[in-house]
């Protein structure tokens, strides 16, 4: 990210993955093979009870038209996620590579919103997917699998809250906005009025300090028309930090993964056929200053 100096973890880069299709709207590309459950640096997660084909993605794909130009610096594909109606089990993206440490993890990603605006989308660390029957140590939280778990930076375009960026504990849908009595404590907020076809670079970290666990995020925007996969030049919109609890949903030796989730808007009339969220330039970084 151009606004934060950090060293990348040196990991083997994936080979360039060809375009692949899924059955939903913009992802339904003719004469293109179906996507499996691995798309570049991500794997698809959803409940075993969803009734969807467990061997293929449903609302995530690799669109040929969204890929970086030939000769781009990265071979990792741009992965597109389509928002699904609330009663349909859509695809969550979890990183194939877990964080190296539970108590010091930091990830970056580029997000492009195409078409109309989803209700909100999340980028998470310490992430997991808790399916029916999965155990956890979150006895004090109101939650019932299947559900996504993790600490997330949300881009909220919702009706009942000011628009902008928030933190959320996905495990019990706890949005730290200072309004929900079931989700007390500190809160952080970065105001932003979203419009279609914006591009963002997000930097999110979870770190344990002497005074507790902290979420730290930096949000930057890219100029309209920035080449696919590029993360510079970026203009910083702001930074957020907040004290949180230890992630109780992770098993004893688990560190968690990065995750991306897209939630649709409530009004179907706002959903255009090409609405999607493009995810690219994902990387784990070494946690370093704030």
Query: What tokens appear for 177 in the block?
Result: 């906005």
Give the DSSP letter of residue 227: P
Q: Are 264 and 279 in contact (CB under 8 A)?
A: no
User: How many residues comprise the chain?
Assistant: 290
Residue keyed to tokens 């902290």? 214
Q: What pLDDT is attached to residue 268?
A: 63
Q: What pLDDT is attached to residue 50?
A: 86
Task: Measure CA of the first residue to CA of the last residue in the chain; give whole Å.
Answer: 13
Distance CA 209, CA 233 (A): 31
Distance CA 47, CA 132 (A): 7
Q: Which residues are CB-neighbours of 26 under 8 A, at least 6 positions away?
A: 61, 63, 80, 82, 115, 273, 274, 275, 276
Give the DSSP letter of residue 238: E
Q: Are strands 147-156 and 120-130 parallel, antiparallel or unpaired?
A: antiparallel
Q: For 25-285, CATH number?
A: 2.60.120.560
Which ranges constitute the DSSP H helices of 163-251?
none
pTM: 0.89
Q: For CA atoms 180, 183, 186, 189, give the dihedral sign.
A: negative
What's phi and psi for 64, nearest 5 deg?
-60, -40
Q: Which residues are CB-neighbours of 256 under 8 A, at least 6 positions away?
A: 98, 99, 102, 105, 125, 126, 127, 128, 150, 247, 250
Distance CA 18, CA 54 (A): 21
Query: What tokens appear for 265 in the block?
Result: 């808007």
pLDDT tens, N- to C-terminus, the chain (290 residues): 333 323 333 344 445 688 999 998 889 999 999 999 999 999 999 888 888 889 999 999 999 888 887 655 567 899 999 887 665 667 899 999 999 999 999 999 999 999 888 888 999 999 999 888 787 888 888 888 888 999 999 998 887 889 999 999 998 989 998 888 878 777 899 999 999 899 999 999 999 999 999 999 999 999 988 888 889 889 999 999 999 999 999 988 899 999 999 887 666 655 677 789 999 999 999 987 54
Give domain limits for the chain: 25-285
């Amino acid at each position: 990210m151009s606004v934060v100096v950090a060293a990348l973890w040196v990991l083997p880069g994936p080979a360039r993955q060809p375009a692949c299709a899924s059955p939903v709207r913009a992802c339904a590309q003719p004469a293109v093979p179906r996507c499996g459950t691995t798309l570049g640096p991500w794997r698809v997660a959803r409940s075993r009870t969803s009734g969807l084909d467990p061997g293929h993605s449903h609302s995530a794909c690799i669109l040929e038209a969204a890929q970086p130009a030939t000769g781009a610096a990265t071979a990792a594909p741009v992965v597109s996620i389509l928002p699904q109606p609330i009663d349909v089990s859509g695809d969550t993206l979890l990183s194939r590579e877990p964080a190296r440490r539970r108590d010091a993890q930091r990830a970056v990603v580029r997000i492009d919103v195409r078409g109309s605006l989803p209700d909100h989308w999340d980028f998470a660390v310490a992430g997991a997917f808790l399916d029916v029957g999965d155990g956890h140590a979150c006895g004090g939280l109101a939650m019932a699998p299947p559900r996504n778990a993790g600490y997330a930076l949300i881009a909220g375009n919702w009706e009942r809250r000011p628009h902008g960026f928030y933190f959320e504990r996905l495990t019990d849908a706890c949005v730290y906005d200072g309004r929900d009595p079931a989700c007390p404590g500190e809160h952080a907020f970065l105001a932003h009025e979203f419009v279609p076809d914006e591009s963002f670079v997000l930097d999110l970290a979870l770190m344990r300090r002497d005074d507790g666990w902290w979420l730290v995020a930096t949000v930057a925007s890219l100029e309209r028309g920035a080449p696919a996969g590029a993360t510079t030049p970026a203009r910083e919109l702001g930074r957020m930090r907040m004290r949180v609890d230890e992630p109780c949903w992770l098993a004893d030796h688990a560190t968690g993964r990065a995750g991306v989730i897209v939630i649709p808007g409530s009004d179907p009339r706002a959903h255009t056929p090409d609405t999607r969220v493009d995810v690219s330039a994902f990387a784990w970084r070494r946690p370093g200053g704030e």
